[in-house]
Amino acid sequence: MRVLVALLVALVATSARADVPPPAAAAGEALHEDKEFGPVILIESIEITGNTATQTEIIRRALPIQPGDILHASDRRMREVRFKVLALGYFRDVTLGMHKGSARGQVVIEIHVVERGTFVLNRLWFGTNELTPYWIGTDVGERNLLGLGIAVGGGLIFASHGLVQGSRDQWAGELRISDGALRGTRWGANGALTLVHGSEAYRVAGTSGTAPDEFRAFPYRRFGGRWGVTYDITTLARLSAGYRLEEVDTQLPVAPTQELPDGRVVGIDLHLRPGESRIATAQLGFDRDTRPDPILPHSGGRITATAEIGSGALGGSYNFLTVFARYEHWFPLHDERHTIGFRLAGGVVIGDADRFDRIHISDVDQLLTPRAMGLVLSNAAPLDILGTRPDKPSYGDLGGTATVEYAARLFRGIGKNRVYGGDLFFGAGLWGLAEAEDLRLRDRALWSSLPIDIVADAGVRIDTELGIFELTIGNALGRLR
Amino acid sequence: MRALIVALLLVTAVARADDDDLLQVQKMKFVERGDSLYVTTSIGKLFDFEAFQGLKSGFASTVAIQIWVYPKDSREPIAITTLVRSAVWDIWDEIYTVKTCKTCPAQKVKSPAEALKLLTSVDDFPVAKLADIPYDDIYYLALRADLNPVSKETLTEVRRWLSQSSGGIDRGGVFFGSFVSAFVNPKIAPADRVLRVQSQPFYRPAPKP
């Protein structure tokens, strides 16, 4: 451990080598030329080559210039051509050329693209713990189906069951389709189908152990779909709206109870209707991301918010409203070699929400195994670091996290060795999860009734040509607890 | 744990070799004139063969230069200057139009070598007020030149697809967690090429009484 600490300290120290002071508030000229100069040209035609899978029309729609445009050769739109095509995400490289047209002053623009694989491995789930002896699954996608610019994807996960009475093997599958720019417009559409065959464990005794006899489980089945539209307000901000309809079939225990450490027996609300029920919701969301590098962010920020309303008027059995939001901002330090990031995330569930739409403890505590395709894979209690409320709830209707993260740049490259960069990071903060009722009434001292605790994580993030990888404490614990 | 350390060392070693942000030391000429300090140097190394060929593409080539002067044993610059130069090839008239600063009049030159010289020569350029440089104190000049820099907004736009949610069922992952995924992940650099140079140490000798 000492060796590791020494190594990490050395890496941070070298990353902060004091070679050149940062260019603080840059005096003089802005670093990007905006004034147009040079010859005025008429774009006679645009030739696109190199695309074998992607339809030419998809590329053409993304271009900021069109045949017939008259502009300076140094026009901003000319400089943006390459990046607008790269922003599609389907190409490894884009090179531009310009040739003489059929008459003086006219030019032919040549755009040569090099396609890349657009198959994406979104997630890989695996791990083991007492509740689930093993789970394995994956989520994959193809971002450019048949060269049409349509993304399809899906996931499948299997989780074996442990010794908790009433539990069963769990599995879930999902299929998705989306087009972020319908016919090149700002409008997008998406849809998904989900089938979950699961079982949920709930505590019947004790407060923090994971012994099978402290839990019971009930089976459930969810089947449904989501359909939505998106609208790009700007290139960095998006509005979304959607509708979700799910059929839930469950066999709930009759009058489930939990025996508390003091011997009292209390009823448990599992937040589901027995037998068949339906979840129908309408959703509205907003997303704005200004981080130049979302993988190793050192500047910029992101805000995401969504509100979802479930109602009988929409065809559902549950009437509720959920509001979730997340905000993060990164402050660069020392020429962006270091950064401090602040993250706030939280949500509130109002009304009679179903169990699956409530906030699970692993949503807020990164040191627990996260839900995978809706399946709860762990019954571990969170680490009790602050000595606050010992029996923290597994589900809540008010929850969130507030964390501060420091990241130091270990290296940056241009990908010659297929590695773009790496960061070492340390983060810590607070998480909290509560039932609204717990906040109104308490039967113990304020501190020991607070449903909050510390969350911390540290590790290395690496951005490579093959993908993004995290070697972190949270990632490791999320596969074992 | 040992395996983790070895993996970390390997990755770091590989990536270190790929770090394109290394500083080069370059001899520069400093002159005091009036109340300013002037520097003469060249950033010709910014252009390799491919970049030089790019001057004839018909698209503008832009060089963004940041210069700062800072004292030894400090990271606080006493003066920062930036300038932007651009050249564009007229494929019909076969002539380069070069602007060596935003407000400078455009210059027309015939050969790519002349265009390159205008883009990369820093001749007698004022970099600091003499009043800010005490006699006998040691200073450095650092210069960063970016060829065709890409604005942060553009970088954000190009990589935006990475952070767009796949729309999965796990709301927790979207709102509270991070993501790890694998795919062919091309990334554009913030500039076609970057050159970072530092001058030799210099000082202003005190005038003889």
Nearest CA in chain A to B68: A23
Q: Give pLDDT, residue A471.
A: 82
Q: Output the CA torsion B180→B185→B188→B194 (10° steps).
A: 80
Q: How far apart are alpha carbons A356 and A423 in whole angstroms?
A: 35
pLDDT recorded at residue B161? 66
Contacts 24+ apart (CB under 8 A), A154-158: A155/A122, A155/A123, A155/A373, A155/B168, A157/A125, A157/A372, A157/A373, A157/A375
Mean pLDDT lowest for which of A12-21, A266-275, A391-400?
A12-21
Compute the average pLDDT of residues A253-269: 88
Share of chain B above pLDDT 70, in %: 77
How far is A80 from A71, CA to CA, in rounded Å?
13
pLDDT at residue A440, rounded to an integer: 72
The pLDDT tens digits for B49-103 are: 999 999 999 999 999 999 999 998 887 899 999 989 999 999 999 999 999 987 8
User: Mean per-residue pLDDT for A438-453?
Assistant: 76
Query: What is the model's pLDDT at position A35?
Result: 61
Q: Looking at residue A17, what is its pLDDT?
A: 42
A38 and B60 in contact by Cβ < 8 A? yes
pLDDT, tens digit (0-9, with 9 covering 90-100), for A121-165? 878 888 999 899 999 999 888 888 888 889 999 999 999 999 999
* Identity of the residue numbered A106: Q
Q: Look up residue B126 and give its amino acid.
A: P
pLDDT at B173: 45
Mean pLDDT, range B11-23, rounded to an integer:
56
pLDDT bracket for residue A391 (50, 70, 90): confident
Q: How far apart are CA A217 and CA A204, in angstroms?
A: 10
Q: β-strands A467-472, A452-464: how paired?
A: antiparallel
> Model confidence over A46-76: pLDDT tens digits?
999 999 989 999 999 989 999 999 999 888 8
What ranges in A87-197 are assigned the alpha helix state H? Answer: none
State the pLDDT confidence band at B12, using cuts at 50, 70 and 90: low
Q: What is the mean pLDDT of chain A?
A: 86
Q: Quick check: A281 pLDDT over 90?
A: yes
Q: Which of A7, A37, A295 sits opposite B99 (nearest CB)?
A: A37
pLDDT at B175: 46
Q: Nearest to residue A361, comparing CAs of A343, A345, A380?
A: A380
CB contact under 8 A, B106 and A38: yes
Higher pLDDT: A24 or A176? It is A176
The tokens describing A420, both together, are 């773009």
Which residue has tokens 């832009």?
B62
The pLDDT value given to residue A224: 96
Residue B187 has pLDDT above 80, yes or no: no
**pLDDT at res. A401:** 93
Interface residue A475 vs chain B (CB under 8 A): yes
What's the residue count for chain A?
481
pLDDT(A202) > 90: yes
Asked whether residue A226 carries a pLDDT value surpassing 90, the answer given is: yes
State residue A294's pLDDT score: 81
Q: Which amino acid is at B46?
A: L
What is the percent of chain A where pLDDT is above 90? 52
Q: Per-residue pLDDT tens for B129-149?
A: 999 999 999 999 999 999 998
Q: Which helix (H) or strand (E) holds A344?
A: strand A338-351
Q: Which residues of chain A lie closer than 8 angstroms to B56, CB-CB?
A: none
User: DSSP 3-state assignment of A436?
Assistant: helix
Q: pLDDT confidence of A447, banded at 50, 70, 90?
A: confident
CA angle A238, A241, A242 (to 5 degrees): 140
pLDDT of residue A12: 46
pLDDT (0 to 100) of residue A80: 87
pLDDT category of residue B4 using cuts at 50, 70 and 90? low
In the sheet that holds B107-109, the strands lie side by side as B23-25, B193-198, B139-147, B61-71, B79-90, B95-99, B107-109
The 3-class SS string of A90-118 reads CEEEEEEEEEECCCCCEEEEEEEEEECCC
- Residue-level pLDDT at B36: 93
Question: Residue B163: which of B153, B150, B174, B152 has the closest Cα?
Answer: B174
Residue, of A321 and A446, whose pLDDT is higher: A321
Best of A31, A303, A460 to disrupt the B interface (most B CBs within 10 Å) is A31
Which range, A24-38, A167-181, A362-376, has the best average confidence (pLDDT)?
A: A167-181
pLDDT at B16 > cutoff 60: no
Distances (CA, A) of A96 to A45, A87, A444, B47, B152: 13, 15, 70, 18, 21
Render pLDDT for A110-128 as a digit per residue (tens, 0 to 9): 999 988 878 888 788 889 9
Strands B23-25 and B193-198: what pairing?
A: parallel
Mutating which of B170, B194, B199 best tests the A interface, going by the most A Cβ atoms within 10 A? B170
User: For residue B11, what pLDDT is reported?
Assistant: 56
**pLDDT for position A133:** 94
* CA dist., res. A180 & res. A189, Å (int): 6
**Residues ≥6 apart with Cβ < 8 Å to B126:** B36, B37, B38, B81
pTM reported for the whole predicted model: 0.76
Whether A165 contacts A133, CB under 8 Å? no
Q: Scan residues 88-147 of A and list those with Cβ closer than 8 Å to B.
A: 88-89, 91-93, 96-100, 104-105, 107, 116-124, 139, 141, 143
Global ipTM: 0.77
DSSP string, chain B: -HHHHHHHHHHHHHHHHTB---EEE---EEEEETTEEEEEEE-GGG--HHHHHHTTSSS-EEEEEEEEEEETT----SEEEEEEEEEEEETTTTEEEEESSTTSPPEEESSHHHHHHHHHEEEEEEEEEGGGS-TT--EEEEEEEEES---HHHHHHHTHHHHS----S-HHHHHT-----EE------SSSEEEEEEPPPB--PPPP-
> What region, left, alpha or beta, does residue A186 occupy, with left being phi > 0 and alpha being psi -120 to 50 degrees?
alpha
Closest-CA distance, B192 to chain A, in angstroms, reads 10
Mean pLDDT of the region A454-473: 82
Query: Which whole number is the average pLDDT over A236-242?
Result: 93
Closest CA to A379 of A112, A204, A131: A131
Distance from the A366 Cα atom to the nearest Cα atom in chain B, whole angstroms = 7
**Alpha-carbon radius of gyration of chain B:** 22
Q: Please name the residue of chain B whose CA is at the shortest distance from the CA of residue A107.
A: B91
Angle B2-17/A2-15 helices, nearest 10 degrees? 20
Q: Which of A86, A104, A466 sits opposite B188 (nearest CB)?
A: A86
Q: What span, in angstroms and rounded, lies between the C-alpha atoms of A143 and B80? A: 44
* Token pair listed for B138: 């040691």
Does the CB of A424 have a partner CB in chain B at under 8 Å? no
Region B153-180: mean pLDDT is 59
- Could you tell me which residue, A469 or B18, shows the higher pLDDT? A469
User: Alpha-carbon torsion A56, A57, A59, A64, what sign?
Assistant: positive
pLDDT of residue B113: 94
